[in-house]
A and B are shown apart, each in its own frame.
Chain A
Amino acid sequence: DAGVIQSPRHEVTEMGQEVTLRCKPISGHDYLFWYRQTMMRGLELLIYFNNNVPIDDSGMPEDRFSAKMPNASFSTLKIQPSEPRDSAVYFCASSLQGANEAFFGQGTRLTVV
Chain B
Amino acid sequence: GEDVEQSLFLSVREGDSSVINCTYTDSSSTYLYWYKQEPGAGLQLLTYIFSNMDMKQDQRLTVLLNKKDKHLSLRIADTQTGDSAIYFCAGPSGGYNKLIFGAGTRLAVHP
Contacts and interface: CB of A to CB of B under 8 A. Distances in A.
Interface of A: 4, 31, 33, 35, 42-43, 45, 48, 50, 55-56, 91, 93, 97-107
Interface residues of B, number: 22
Contacts, number: 61
B40 to A, nearest CB: 8
B10 interface: no
Specify the main secondary structure of chain B where it touches its partner.
strand
A99 B88 contact: no
Contacts of A105: 42
A100 B42 CA distance: 17
Contact of B104 (A31, A42, A48, A56): A42
A98 B103 contact: no
Contact of A48 (B92, B98, B103): B98
Interface of B: 30-31, 33, 41-45, 48, 88, 90, 92-93, 96-104
Contacts of A56: 96, 98
Contacts of A4: 42
Contacts of B96: 56, 98-99
B104 A91 contact: no
